[in-house]
Structure formats: C-alpha cells, structure tokens
Amino acid sequence: MADTSGIPIVETPVLVIGSSMVGMTLSSLLAQHGISDCITVEKHASTAIHPRAAYFHPRTMQIYRELGLYEQMKQESYKYYDEHAGIYDVESLAGREIGRYMEDLNEGLERISPTSRLFLTQQMFEPLLRAHATKHGADLRFSTELLEFQHDATGVSALIRNTATGAKQLVRAKYLVACDGNRSFVRQKIGIRMQGHGLLSHSLTIYFKADLGRFVQGKYNGVIYVNNAHIRGFFRLDKTGREGFLAVNTAGERGTEASRFPAVNITNERASEMLRAAIGADVEYEITLLSPWDAVCDVAERFQVDRILLAGDAAHIVTPNGGFGGNTGIQDAHNLAWKLALVLKGQAGGDLISTYEAERWPVAKKTVDQVFERYIVRTAPEFRQEGMEVEEEVPEPHLELGYQYHSQGLATKGLPGGSVTSDPATATAEAGTMAHHVLVTTTDQTESPARPIAGLLGRTFVLVAGRDGGAWVRAARELSRKEDSTLPEVVAHQLAADGNESFYEKYSLLTSGCVLIRPDGFVAWAESKAAATSSGTTGISTTVEMLEHVLRGILCLSSSPGMQDFKSKM
C-alpha cells in the first residue's frame, strides 16, 4: 500500500464495499444483530437512478419482513404493479402471445411462504432501504471509493477517498465484504477467477418514455419476453404501460455471431429499430438512455480469502432471467450477517465464517446453471450447441424456497446425495433446509390466531418444542440464563396442545421433540424424541448439556464429538 502517513485512521468491525441492494441489506442486518458501527462505502453519489432489478422472490421478502420493510415494499409495489402479474412470451406487444412462463406470480404461494413475490424497481426500493439502514445506525458513505487495500491474518487495511472532497481515510477492519458488483475490484485484486458459461451476449437496455397502455392493460403486466425475427429480449413494464424498459439480448438474423452483440456500436437509430420491432406498432416514444451490459452466467471459484468475503454480483453473475441476481445476493448477506455478528461478539468460533462459502457457493452455482438454462430456452435457443450442458429446469419454488445447505455449522446427517434444492411443498424440514412455512400456535402467544413460524425467527437462535416437549423449553431457557455462558441466547417456544398437526408433519417430529433454528431461518438441528437424562427420566440438567453441546458444535466453538457420541454416554 502507498504511504499513508498523516492520513487519519478509523477502526471498524466490518468494511462493506458497495452500497447497492446487497451492501445496504448487509449493513441493515449487521445493525439488527448489534453490529451497527460497520462502514459501508459506495463510489456513486446516491442510490440507483434507473429502474433495475425489479423482481423480488418470496425468500427475499422474508428477509425484508424480518427488517420490518415488507408491508412498506408491498404498498409501493402495488402502486405500479399488479399483485397477480405474470411472465409472458410474445412475438411483440401488439402481436400474438406465444406462451406464459408464469401466469400469476403468487398463485398458490401462500401454502409455502408467508410472503409474496413482488415487483419493485431498484430506484424505488433503495431509498427505503437506505433510510432503514441509517435509522438503525449503519454508517453509509456515498461518493466514497476504495483506492487500495491489503489483508493479513487479523484483518484488512483499506484506503478510501471521498470523491467530492478528495479527503482520504485509512480504515482498519476485522473483515471486508466485497459487494462491489460484477467487475469487483476487490475480487480481481485478490486473484479470484470467475468460472461458468462465460459471455453470452453484449446486451442492451433501452430506457424510454411511451404510452403502451393499450397493449398491456388488462392483458400483460410484469415481465414480457419478446421473440421475433428482429429482436429477442424482454420488457419490464408497470401496469399503466408508461414506465419500464426493454432489455435486448440478441437482435438481427437468428443464430449469427453478430446477433449476439446488439450493444456494439449502438446508435439511437438502431435502438429505435429494436424498440419498434419489440412493440410491433407505430407509437410515439422517447429514448432516454442506452445502457450496454454483458450477459454472463458465472460464479467465483471462491467466496473467501482470509478475512475478505465476496457477496452479490462480486461472487456470482447471472442474466436477469427469473430475477435471481439481486435475490441471490441479498440471501448471501442474510447468511453472512449473523455469522459475522456472533464471531465479532466472541459468541462463535472463527470457523463459522468459513461456513458461508460452504453453504452459499453450491447454491450460487446451481442458480447460475439454472439461469443459464432459462436464458437459452427463453431467449437464445438457436445458440444451444451439440454437447452443451444445459440443466433441466428446476421449478422456481425449488430454487427460491427449497435450497439447502451443507456445512459444519449444521448438526446434520447429510441431506440426500448432497442435494442443493428440494420441493418446499412436499419436503420435510431438517438440518440444512429452510424452516418451511407452517402456521403455529404457541403457549406464550397472546393472540389466538395461528402465526407463521417465520414470525418467530430472525434475531437469534430459536427452539420450537412440541406440546409434550416442555423439558426442551426449560433447558433452552436454563442455558440462556447460565452466568458463565458466552453462547448466544436461545429463545424457546412450546407449541400449544391443539392445532399444530401441520408442524409435526412438516418437521417430522413427535410431540415430545424439538427443532433448533438459526438466526437466518435455517434448521440447525432437530430431535424427534423427548429430552431424557441418563436414567431415562425427563429432566433439565442433562438436556442443558445436550443443547449446549449442539450449539457449540453449530457455532464452531469446539471439535466436540457428534450427537450420536454424546447420546451414547447418556
């Protein structure tokens, strides 16, 4: 690093590079977990100014529900988009409909999620997220760039500069998280390569003003794929037909090499030809911006080097098909935030951070391959070559709500075949899976209606015991009250006597069993049977030891024996 003498130094637990959706979400989640003094830097002067990344998945909305933003996001969304919008395929807006990939975004979703899918453009959403993060103490520094950095075994030293004033500052952080996008400066400097399907096309987004209401109102709303002899891409339009953009993936004669590069040497005249071909009728319009971008489906070979971690587009890059880019990045942040917080508080071992890559890399790789499949099938089937590996499409709910983790941060016997996805409607919840959606009634509930299990989660570890599992609840509370314990709190709930049959079925538990759920809403451990002492009678002391043993293993605090070994000594 260059000479930094005379430059003021500040210390922070976490330095986040990039304050788009992923970076600000990470800052908000860290603040929620008690780490509000992290610093987030963003080279741009403000939040997004163009309507990108408009499609939010139900899992992502569960995360924003935890942050208290869900209802506000829905209200904003429904001003511009129909709750029951879809994903369509047409020859042109004025032409015939070819098919529908999803007729109603939220049809049947209430059976597997407490939250819905919704459209909300990045320029509408990021100000809400920024206000929330700032309110909760996050230090967001816009117009600030990372100049250089170096890392060692104990942390990262980074030189940052305010682009408006030129003032420099040296930041010493225990961890650095790179959320600095697909051209990540951090990733390139530490030598992490990207791998996957490579460049698919030099694509183009055309931002424009027009009144397309007569083509979409009462007919299309949401994402509209366009496939004709002149252009292949998609519109994202609001329900009035006045706001949106056209993304062009290929244009011109199908299958030619030139068709893959519509953004090369682009002019307003050429962009107008593409827009007219996509609309399929003569209308008045004004092109406001041409934004070239590379369509790529790749994943970083690693997500961590020492105390530097990658998240969002810095870790994985996909095309917009299915809206998986931003959603996957936000879920990276959700997986990482609680781990960083507990390690920084001394409540978890440093190896817990390593479980971030172990858990998120396979999910990212699966997502990259699935988005590639959607790109080829929906937009560029002519480029499918003999021998090209294209996965069979996995249904959206399997990717959005059924992805699974495998790591030492889980007390698991191993999910079938190291699988990455499952059907959230039929699969049972077990260690490594998301805490599947069910309505529960607990004994500590003051209101009579059942509530989603997701409403119990998000702050710390949560233990949910069956109606006959009182010993588990008492043991969890006893463990949290231990004066000499440095473990995080375990909040315990016992199910009421009636009305929880779906929970026992979904979690494969007896009424005397329990499930331990991590702060990120993933099942960490489950025990079907009653708590028992070595003599076979239900009690607290041995059960407290058992829970402590489980929790210490999950938090990477010891290389203690597995649960089977523990039980054999009881």
* Residues 379-406: tens digit of each pLDDT: 999 888 766 888 899 999 999 999 999 9
- Residue 302 — φ and ψ, nearest 5°? -145, 155
CA distance 509 to 326: 35
> Catalytic one among 81, 175, 225, 375?
225
453-479 pLDDT, tens digit per residue, is 999 998 899 999 999 999 999 999 999
Number of domains in the chain: 2
Indicate whether 542 and 447 sit together in one domain: yes
Q: Is the pLDDT of residue 447 over 90?
A: no
Confidence of residue 566 (pLDDT cuts 50, 70, 90): very low
Boundary-marking domain end, from 398, 424, 444? 398
- Residue 251 — φ and ψ, nearest 5°? -150, 150
Indicate whether 479 and 331 sit together in one domain: no
The 3 state secondary structure assigned to 95-123 is: CCEEEEEECCCCCCHHHCCCCCCEECCHH
pLDDT at residue number 534? 39
- For 178, 298, 385, 565, the CA distances from 133, given in Å and listed in that order, are 18, 30, 46, 44
Q: Looking at the domain assignment, is residue 336 inside a domain? A: yes
Q: Looking at the domain assignment, is residue 4 inside a domain? A: no
CATH number at residue 167: 3.50.50.60
Q: Looking at the domain assignment, is residue 327 inside a domain? A: yes
Indicate whether 362 and 470 sit together in one domain: no
CA distance 489 to 275: 56
Indicate whether 363 and 474 sit together in one domain: no
Closest CA to 313 of 325, 301, 297, 327: 325
Q: Is the pLDDT of residue 48 over 80?
A: no
pLDDT at residue number 371? 97
pLDDT at residue number 49? 67
Indicate whether 328 and 449 sit together in one domain: no
Indicate whether 393 and 448 sit together in one domain: no
Indicate whether 506 and 454 sit together in one domain: yes
Q: Looking at the domain assignment, is residue 293 inside a domain? A: no
Indicate whether 21 and 139 sit together in one domain: yes
- Cα 210 to its chain centre, rounded Å, is 33
CA distance 485 to 328: 35
pLDDT at residue number 54? 76
Where are the alpha helices (H) located in 487-540, listed in sequence order?
501-506
Q: Is the pLDDT of residue 563 over 80?
A: no
Closest CA to 18 of 52, 41, 34, 36: 41
253-275 pLDDT, tens digit per residue, is 999 999 999 999 999 999 999 99
Indicate whether 324 and 460 sit together in one domain: no
CATH number at residue 507: 3.40.30.120
Indicate whether 163 and 22 sit together in one domain: yes
Q: Looking at the domain assignment, is residue 186 inside a domain? A: yes
The identity of residue 64, as a single letter, is: Y
CA distance 214 to 229: 23
What pTM was computed for the model? 0.93
Q: Are 69 and 129 in contact (CB under 8 A)?
A: yes
Indicate whether 356 and 446 sit together in one domain: no
Indicate whether 186 and 131 sit together in one domain: yes
Q: Looking at the domain assignment, is residue 267 inside a domain? A: no
Say which DSSP state 488 is in.
Answer: P
Domain that holds residue 46: 9-70+116-192+298-381+389-398
Q: Is the pLDDT of residue 14 over 70?
A: yes
Boundary-marking domain end, from 398, 426, 451? 398
Q: Looking at the domain assignment, is residue 76 inside a domain? A: no
Closest CA to 293 of 269, 313, 315: 313
CA geometry: angle 110, 113, 114, nearest 5 deg: 85
Consecutive H or E run containing 250:
strand 244-251
225 is catalytic: yes
Q: Looking at the domain assignment, is residue 135 inside a domain? A: yes
135-157 pLDDT, tens digit per residue, is 998 999 999 999 999 999 899 99
pLDDT at residue number 445? 77
Consecutive H or E run containing 375:
helix 351-378
Q: Are 312 and 332 in contact (CB under 8 A)?
A: yes
